[in-house]
Structure 1
Amino acid sequence: MYRLFAGIEIPREIGEELQAISKKVTGASWRPIENYHITLRFMGEVDRNTAEDLDHELSLIEAKQMQLTLSGAGWFGSSEPTALWASVEADEDLTRLAERCDRAAKRVGLSLDKRKFRPHVTLAYCKGTPLQEAAAFAEKYGFLKLGPFWADRFHLYSSWSGKGPSRYVSEAEYPLT
């Protein structure tokens, strides 16, 4: 079984700037630079045949290259924060690409992703983080502006758990034209 998602990698120089805001927040487990990405579609656990079919479907996607900008910060989890993130400015091309990845997933039999696409870069996962600390982080970095940077491809990533943070491996790369 493979745990897969489609995503756009964040350039190293943008990742280094994100690392600079990774400050002490109680219960925050900060992600390493190599894990920074924008998730287009989480696929979940799939078998080898489904993964191969998914790779084929994703390879058929035609989409434009785009310039993306990170703007602002926030957290998920209304009463107890679960993650801290940097937001991606709204971009129609990015939304269309995410929709195409979603349709590709449906064509190989994966269930509908019930969450609305909300482009972001996860900076930390939280456990026991006080709401006021997440709010203070979001307020301090609410005016964050990084980029723009060019997205000229997207990837099918596998996620591997073990000791320490998950490790993401690009299993396939798809050019944007």
Structure 2
Amino acid sequence: MLTLFAALPVPDAVAERLLPLQTDLKGASWREREHFHITLAYFGEISEPAAETLDDEIGEIACPQFDLEIEGVGWFGRKEPHAAFATVKRTPDLEELSRQCRKIAGRLGLDKDARPFKPHITLAYCNNTPLEAAMAWSERWQVVRAGPWTADRFHLFESIPRPGKKSVYDPVAEYPLGL
């Protein structure tokens, strides 16, 4: 079984802009730069034959290249923060690419993520982070802006667990945009 998700890569210049934000948040387990991405759709655990079908279907998505920007930060877990992130500005093309990926997941009967799409880059997972700490961190970094940059491709990633360590995200397929 493979754990797969579709995501946009984050360019080095944008990642470098986000790394300084990874400080002063109690309970934060900061993500490494190579884990930065913008999830379009989470597919869950699937068999290799299903992954091949998914790859074929996603490879048929037609979407233009589009620009992305970072505009501030936030956290998930309203009163009990469980993740801190950089907010990615919503655009119609970004929304449509995510919608197409999720539609394919539904058509193939995959473990589609039921949460609404919120474009972001996860910077940390939080453990027992006080709400006040998340609020203070967010207030400090709300002014952060990065980009714009052009999304010219997206990937199918496999999440590979490592005993006692953070998972590795391995890009197993690449799909160009704008062709």
Q: TM-score range, shorter-chain basis? A: over 0.9
1:26 deviates by: 1.2
Name the counterpart of 2:74: 74
- Asked if 1:63 is matched to 2:63, the reply is yes
Q: Deviations over 1:46-74 (max 9, x none)?
A: 11111111001100000010110010101
Structure 1 stretches of 4+ with a deviation exceeding 2 A read: none
Superposed, 1:124-135 pairs within 5 Å as 124-135=124-135
5+ residue gaps in structure 2?
A: none
Deviation at 1:111, TM superposition (A): 4.2
Q: Is the 8 A contact 2:45 2:111 kept in 1?
A: no
* 1:38 CA drift (Å): 0.3
Question: In the alignment, what sits opposite 1:105?
Answer: 105
Stretch of structure 1 that moved more, 33-42 or 137-146: 137-146
> Matches of 1:15 and 1:82 in 2, distance apart?
21
Q: Give the equivalent residue in structure 1 for 2:19.
A: 19
- The two structures, once aligned, show a CA RMSD in angstroms of 0.9
- Show the counterpart of 2:31: 31
CA distance in 1, matches of 2:51, 2:20: 36
Aligned counterpart, 1:86: 86
Residue 20 of structure 1 aligns with an amino acid whose one-letter code is: P
Separation (CA, whole Å) in 2 of partners of 1:107 and 1:27: 39
- Alpha-carbon distance in structure 1 between the residues aligned to 2:111 and 2:44: 10
String of CA shifts for 1:95-141, please: whole Å, max 9, x gaps: 00000001111222214432110000000000011111101111111
- Aligned-partner Cα distance in 2 for 1:81–1:113: 19
**Correspondence 1:151 to 2:151:** yes
Aligned to 2:97, what secondary structure does the other structure show? helix
Number of aligned residue pairs: give it: 177
Q: Structure 2 CA distance, aligned partners of 1:53 and 1:116?
A: 24
Q: For the residues of structure 2 that align with 1:96 and 1:32, how far apart are their CA atoms?
A: 28
Which moves more between the two structures, 65-74 or 19-28?
19-28
Amino acid at match of 2:108: V
The answer (yes or no) to whether the contact 2:88–2:119 under 8 Å persists in 1 is yes
Contact 2:42 2:112 in 1 (8 A): no
TM-score by length of 1: 0.97
Tell me: CA distance 1:35–1:112, structure 2 relative to 1, closer, same or farther (3 Å).
closer
Distance 1:24 1:51 in 2: 39
